[in-house]
Structure 1
Amino acid sequence: MNQALSRPAASVEMQAYLLGLMSVAAFALTLPCAKVLAGPLSAMQIGLFRSMLAALAALPILWFTRSARPNASQVKRLLLLSLGIVYGFPILTAVGMRYVPVGHGGVVLAALPLATAIFGSLITKDRPPLLFWLASIGGFVAVALFAAWRSGIGGGFYLGDLALLGAVALAGFGYAQGGALSKEMQGWEVMCWALVLNLPVLLPLSLLYFNAADFAGFGSVSWAALAFLAFVNSLLGFFSWNRALALGGIQRISQLQLLQPFFTYGYSIILMGEAFDPLALLICVAVIGLVVVSKRALLKH
């Protein structure tokens, strides 16, 4: 009987982790894409345009699926989520990429899983055990050291760090709100409604900041970067991410983002021909071990 009951639970958990990893793999390209666009476009343009395009894509999705309108309480929380995911993170990461290298940005964003877990605990009123927090902090330190070593950072503080720290705080808050809302709504509905509710603000602001001359020198790489940020990182990636947070729990699934710099590193090897370093693999294995520790700590809680 117990074994029969545990199979569905194990299946749900596996689904949560797979969906979470898919999202992390997509989010790992956020900083490189923002860096590509940081030259021709301003930070406000990058943040607004990616969210506006995502909102325009979300509108027909809601229309064709006949998605039920969120209630007043859900609208309030969707607007709170928007502060972090629709505005804060897209704009502030674009600001950061104007001042810091991608590798340096990875050091700061390594705090995102911890921020998400903290806000998740505040929103859901869940209190993970001490072992979970120790594993989370240990994972953050390991990832930050890896990112610093990869980019040769000597500990200097950049102006862009302030923007990225703000992005971490706002994204952690937004992710936690999205995970909590996804227990009441479908994960894809959460992001679609969050974007569409902001379309009356995003559209006029985007038109205000639009300048055709800024796109004159746009090449295929720049267009691809903008399209990826808009339709994958601001929309489709959150379909699977919100669902993963709802199925597996905000604190548990958020720790998968500790693997994000390693995905970025993998992309640099595949797409940019960088050399593979065995030490990176060892650190990745150590981080995976800490994610497992945090998971088991929550299971015993």
Structure 2
Amino acid sequence: MARSDELKGTALAFAGVLAFSGSFPATVFAMRGFDPWLVAIGRALLAGIVALVCLRAARVPLLPPRSQWGSYALISLGVVFGFPVFSGLALHLGASTAHSAVVIGLLPAATAAFAVLRAGERPRPLFWVACTAGAVAITVFTVSQGGGGLSLADMLLVAALLSAALGYTEGGRLARSTPGWHVISYALVLSLPVTLPVSVALAAVTPITLTAASVGGFLYVGLVSMFLGFIPWYAGLARGGIARAGQTQLVQPLLTLVWAWLLLGERYGLATVLGALAVLVCVAVTQRSRS
């Protein structure tokens, strides 16, 4: 049963990764009609309203126990505010979707580290070897693409992945005893006192161009990336183990490369493909090393 739970957790986590893999292309589309800050904060407002409606429809409390508010604050800082803001600004500064996707491939390593610190998980040595190999491969890729150094966009991407790792770990820890969709819903609802007024203010002072692409991109990051994708993701982390199931996100760069090619027409060189393939090999090893 333990092995079965790990496999089911991995499958659920992958469903979340599949949803998240379209986030960068969707953000690019959204920013063609909306200010980057409005995209980052407004998506959380949209998801928060949907989460509030879902909680009300399910007839469950609209707020979590007060004793857990600290954990939900960490989730909000990580995935409601941190990741959308930092990644959106990186894309706005010119980081390509493909490059950003490969850099964010470091996220599983960061999530595993936070899982040790916050959730008490102790993966086996082989797990860490494969995880470190993936991190090294992506670091080499980033430095080589940046001419021997890190750009401001790269540093923003690193801040984004650390933010996401914190939010993923804390959410996965709470999802052990609370349904995954409750976890992300509560984080979004508790953020509404910030996302609502800030979004309204930004909408009033920034230019908005409504097109099918910009509206579609905004709806995707608000409904899928910020809400629906977290339902299987948090459930997978809780069932399969945060460190282990979280390694499925190493596949995300490859998926995002496909979306960037199909939807944005981006072209990338051999280094990008090799970097993405390197992390794919690492995820295969981590999934064979039980936690």
The TM-score, its normalising length taken from structure 1, stands at 0.86
Larger RCO (CA under 8 A, 6+ residues apart)? 2
d(CA) in 2 for partners of 1:228 and 1:34?
8
User: Is 1:244 matched up with 2:244?
Assistant: no
Instruction: Supply the RMSD in Å over aligned alpha carbons.
Output: 2.7
Choose which of 48, 73, 77 in structure 2 pairs with 1:83. Answer: 77
User: Is 1:214 matched up with 2:228?
Assistant: no
* Larger of the two Rg values belongs to structure: 1
Deviation at residue 207 of structure 1 after TM alignment? 1.0
Higher mean alpha-carbon deviation, 38-47 vs 195-204, is at: 38-47
Tell me which residue corresponds to 2:136.
141
Choose which of 250, 253, 256 in structure 2 pairs with 1:258. Answer: 250
Where do residues 258-297 of structure 1 align in structure 2 (5 Å cutoff)? Answer: 258-271=250-263, 287-297=279-289
d(CA) in 2 for partners of 1:281 and 1:248?
29
d(CA) in 2 for partners of 1:270 and 1:164?
23
Give the 3 Å change call, closer, same or farther, for CA 224–212 of structure 1 in structure 2.
Answer: farther
Higher mean alpha-carbon deviation, 182-191 vs 16-25, is at: 16-25
Per-residue CA distance 1:266-297 (angstroms, 9 max, x = gap): 22454456789999888766644432432343
**Kept after mapping to 2: 8 A contact 1:258/1:287:** yes
The TM-score, its normalising length taken from structure 2, stands at 0.88
Higher mean alpha-carbon deviation, 223-232 vs 264-273, is at: 264-273
Where do residues 167-182 of structure 1 align in structure 2 (5 Å cutoff)? Answer: 167-182=160-175
User: Is 1:18 matched up with 2:11?
Assistant: yes
d(CA) in 1 for partners of 2:256 and 2:245?
19
Higher mean alpha-carbon deviation, 46-55 vs 205-214, is at: 205-214
Higher mean alpha-carbon deviation, 252-261 vs 61-70, is at: 61-70
Indicate the percent of aligned positions where both proteins have the same amino acid.
34
Where do residues 52-67 of structure 1 align in structure 2 (5 Å cutoff)? Answer: 52-67=45-60
For this pair of structures, how many residues does the alignment match?
Answer: 289
Helix, strand or coil for the counterpart of 1:185? Answer: coil
**Kept after mapping to 1: 8 A contact 2:32/2:214:** no
Give the 3 Å change call, closer, same or farther, for CA 276–18 of structure 1 in structure 2.
Answer: farther
Unaligned runs of 5+ in 1: 1-7
Tell me which residue corresponds to 2:127.
132
